[in-house]
Amino acid sequence: MKRGWIVASLFFLALFSGTIWLSASLPLLDELGPGPGFFPIWLAGIGAVLSVVLVVQTARAPTDGPSDSLMPDRDALFRISCIIVMLVFGALVLDWLGWRITALIVTGVLLPALGARSPWAVVPFVLAASFGVFHVFYYWLKVPLPIGTFGI
């Protein structure tokens, strides 16, 4: 398992390094403030540093014992499966149902699947994630989001 962590960390280091290289040709500043290269370079730089830290930390850790397993337990597999299924569902129905209904369904299913039990926490979050986010982006920021065939 130690080798897998090191390989994954080196993969992310290569990914972040490539992002820095591609973003280096973009300007860091423009007339309005941060340019198109500002955030990619900084975020990729932070990710690269964290990848190096993870490689060093994993390499210095003691050798894995025989009880270490690469596969997650049953509860973790359920949560991972729910996230993947809901991401695919959201991608497939976003244009048809629109942002508000899709976000309502996806967050309404994911929150209980990930462990949120209180309806006093789930219901406001689901409403804010669907209708609130749509209102902020569509009306205030003027970012077009899909409305869907139902017009909701």
User: For 56-102, how does the pLDDT look when each residue is reduced to its tens digit (9 = 90+)?
Assistant: 998 898 875 555 566 778 898 999 999 999 999 999 999 999 999 99
29 membership: H or E segment, kind and range: strand 29-30
State the distance between the two ends of the chain, measured CA to CA, in whole angstroms. Answer: 47
Please give the C-alpha separations between residue 30 and each of 22, 25, 38, 41, 58, in angstroms, as whole numbers.
18, 14, 10, 15, 40
Nearest to 83 by CA among 50, 60, 115: 115
Does the global pTM surpass 0.75?
Answer: no
**Does 10 score more than 80 pLDDT?**
yes
Nearest to 137 by CA among 145, 126, 146: 145
What is the longest distance spanned by two Cα atoms in the chain?
58
